[in-house]
Structure 1
Amino acid sequence: MSAHSSLHLAASPIEAASDDAFPHVAIGRLRRMGRLSAPLPTALGGEGLCEPERVGDLRRLLTEIGRDSLPVGRLYEGHVNALALVLRYADAETREVLARDALDGHLFGVWNTEPKDNGLTLDPAGRLRGAKSFASGAGFVTRPLVTARMPDGRSLMLILRLKAGERADLSEWRVHGMRATATGTVDFSGLHVGEGAVIGAPDDYFRQPFFFAGAWRFLAVQLGGMEAVVETHRAHMRATGRSSDPHQQARFGRSLIALESCRLLVAQAADIVAAEALPPERVIAGVNLARAAVDQAGLDVLTLAQRSVGLAGFLDDHPLEAQMRDLATYLRQPAPDFALTGMAAHVLDCETPLHALWPEVRSQGCEA
């Protein structure tokens, strides 16, 4: 199935009535269309979307899904992230086993954040103790990739096998937006590693540049959320006959500049990560440049749409209302100031001319 085919995620009546509901219909649609297995290489039954030469296709798919639904985009991005880590670090036998799980329709995810006083640990006997917090898809992701701290202090990646609804606590997920992601706490205490799979060597999860540089994937999803807001902004102006107002035109024009600038920067970030041709610090700086741009532009797009649409956009039956909540929430990624200042510090300290910091990489096989 081509990654270019159009994807529209229809909601069930329950999902349409409440954005608190997990998007079963949308995830089922992704499953039926082969999207859950698409990141796998063709030799393992997928479409090779995690291959460097397919980075443009993966980026566009993430944006397309995010445009239709940011919660679904967040869940799918986590699924892709988990499979990308499996393909990079797991041994051949483990890759084949987990590829079969993806082909069978299991939803994967990456859960790394932990409660302050109950982080996940692995004892010498292979038993787990502790939990993961802010785990998107808790109760619905059946193949989570987690990191567990070993007795020597290093962290090991594990893919664990869960049943739907198992070990998940969603009681504290009371948020402004992104409610449908079913983000919660999952306690793994008592589970044995033999019930899952070890991925790679200790501390592989934190290897750079891929630990930080993989952020380009959630940026691609956020870009889709920005597209949805700008499209709703435009539709409202046209429907209300205000598209000829020069003040409205100016606001909408600034929205387009923000959106299209981010599209270019996210494409550049995806390409330089896929090419693996630059020093790790330069790759991370390029991704953080895109991250800082999307963070600011997303807030700008929201503000411009709110000012143009006005109070109508805050009514719960207006499409902009849910879009604004989801995008504003999803933009709140960890350590935005660290990403911005780290990128700026790298550029200030290096001798490379600005025009040559992130050279074109499309000629190396990465599609923009």
Structure 2
Amino acid sequence: MSGDAASSASTAPEQDDDVEAAGSPQAVRAAVADRFTALTRAVDAAAAPGLGGRPIAEVPLPGSGRTADRFRVLYELGREDLCVARLVEGHLDAVAILDEIAGDRTAPGERWGVWAAQPPGPGLTARESGGVWLLDGVKPYCSGAHSCTHALVTADTADGRVLFAVRLGQDGVRPVPGTWQAVGMAGSDTPGVAFTGVEAVPVGGVDAYLDRPGFEHGGLGVAACWLGGARAAAAPLYAAAGKRPGDTVTAAHLGAVDTLLSSAETVLIRAAGDVDADPPDALGGARTRTLRVRALVEHVCTEVLAHTGRATGAGPLCHDARHARTVADLTVYVRQHHAEHDLAVLGGLAAGRQDGALGSAR
């Protein structure tokens, strides 16, 4: 072996290690946390690119008359980075929840999460002691566990499930190591968090978190993030079709994807208009609307990933780190849609609405 070859061989592992370290879950999580922190600290639009030309504090609330602008912000963040979008969506959802239930506002520099997952098994409990509410147990799926300053957390009381506001800097709050092993959405930092005697403040009464129109409106915001991720995942297909004008197979895949994406984007904007037309859900259509939109967007995401992969092959997944991460992230994130379970709920609601009239989606 020549000296040059030996030198090259000796340095190659270090280069590989550097690349691996840059793409490690820890590095991705740190980069996402930094971006999330920068966005929540921004006080002007120039400091917060990706937020639709406004600082995060000025993103419209759902039902404000500018819900489409809210969804555009989440959509564009999804196109940029689904993990960042996930954390920002949680913060914006917390802002909306506090406004809707308690009329409260968050303070500048605070970073909020909404930790309300309720999988089977023991969860978080709340008890009142001397006029103070204390939380104990483990809450799973806590996005932004290491970067959020506060969270809205559901916990079981003797009377039922209640939403609590928690300051996360307390000694009794501890993310549980090893409980977030995901490759996709690694940067969302979503481990279980253990609570031991943690002080909390109730936000509304029993089931107030679920029994409000904003719960459904918030579900549409998540779909906006998914759809932005789908648009990003399709980028290699758009590029490939532009470079292969005579390739009818690639063009056909792109035609299918473009139809799906543009249709879902139109439906999402229509849903925003419906929210603004009836913020308190006096017409009772919010649940059906959200289930329909989320089911459609989940289907679009699944089809976009399939068409893009079949048309472009393994190349983008193997040589384009951003695309590979987007595909992995979207595959995990879209599973917040509960597949056939949610479709069954929608089917039950749709069974009573068989008129089929154009415009009856409200």
Asked if the contact 2:162/2:203 (under 8 Å) is kept, the reply is yes
The residue that corresponds to 1:28 in the other structure is 37
Secondary structure, in 3 states, of the residue corresponding to 1:324?
A: helix
The residue that corresponds to 1:163 in the other structure is 169
Letter in 1 for 2:203: I
Letter in 1 for 2:268: V
Q: How does 1:1-368 map to 2 (within 5 A)?
A: 17-18=23-24, 20=26, 21-22=28-29, 23-34=32-43, 46-47=57-58, 49-50=60-61, 52-91=64-103, 95=104, 98-100=105-107, 103=108, 105-114=109-118, 116-125=120-129, 126-152=133-159, 154-163=160-169, 166-193=173-200, 197-238=201-242, 241-276=243-278, 278-279=281-282, 281-315=284-318, 317-350=320-353, 352-358=355-361
The normalised TM-score by structure 1 is 0.80
Letter in 2 for 1:107: R
Deviation string 1:45-84 (CA, Å, 9 cap, x unpaired) is: 9426115212111110000111000000011111111111
Asked if the contact 1:281/1:346 (under 8 Å) is kept, the reply is no
Secondary structure, in 3 states, of the residue corresponding to 1:127?
A: strand
Between the aligned partners of 1:210 and 1:24, the Cα distance in structure 2 is 26
Deviation string 1:211-265 (CA, Å, 9 cap, x unpaired) is: 3442100100011101111223212444xx3243111101011000111111112
Letter in 2 for 1:54: R
Secondary structure, in 3 states, of the residue corresponding to 2:151?
A: strand
Secondary structure, in 3 states, of the residue corresponding to 1:204?
A: coil
| C-alpha displacement of 1:155 | 1.8
The normalised TM-score by structure 2 is 0.82
Decide which moves more: 136-145 or 18-27.
18-27
Secondary structure, in 3 states, of the residue corresponding to 1:137?
A: coil
Between the aligned partners of 2:350 and 2:308, the Cα distance in structure 1 is 33
Letter in 2 for 1:33: A
Which protein has the larger Cα radius of gyration, Structure 1 or Structure 2? 2
Letter in 2 for 1:81: D
Secondary structure, in 3 states, of the residue corresponding to 1:122?
A: strand
Between the aligned partners of 1:202 and 1:285, the Cα distance in structure 2 is 23
Secondary structure, in 3 states, of the residue corresponding to 1:80?
A: helix
| C-alpha displacement of 1:319 | 3.2
Between the aligned partners of 1:25 and 1:90, the Cα distance in structure 2 is 30
Asked if the contact 1:26/1:72 (under 8 Å) is kept, the reply is yes
Between the aligned partners of 1:32 and 1:49, the Cα distance in structure 2 is 17
Unmatched 5+ residue regions in structure 2? 1-18, 49-55
Between the aligned partners of 1:316 and 1:18, the Cα distance in structure 2 is 16
Aligned length in residues: 326
Query: Structure 1 residues 285, 249: CA separation in 2 closer, same or farther (over 3 Å shift)?
Result: same
| C-alpha displacement of 1:34 | 3.6
Query: Structure 1 residues 351, 172: CA separation in 2 closer, same or farther (over 3 Å shift)?
Result: closer
Between the aligned partners of 1:348 and 1:355, the Cα distance in structure 2 is 17
Query: Structure 1 residues 267, 81: CA separation in 2 closer, same or farther (over 3 Å shift)?
Result: same
Deviation string 1:304-330 (CA, Å, 9 cap, x unpaired) is: 110111121221544321111111111
Letter in 2 for 1:49: P
After TM superposition, the runs of 4+ consecutive aligned structure 1 residues lying more than 4 A away are: 13-16, 277-281
Between the aligned partners of 1:15 and 1:224, the Cα distance in structure 2 is 27
Percent identity between the two aligned chains = 27
Letter in 1 for 2:247: D
Letter in 1 for 2:35: A
Secondary structure, in 3 states, of the residue corresponding to 2:351?
A: helix
Secondary structure, in 3 states, of the residue corresponding to 1:177?
A: coil
| C-alpha displacement of 1:170 | 4.0
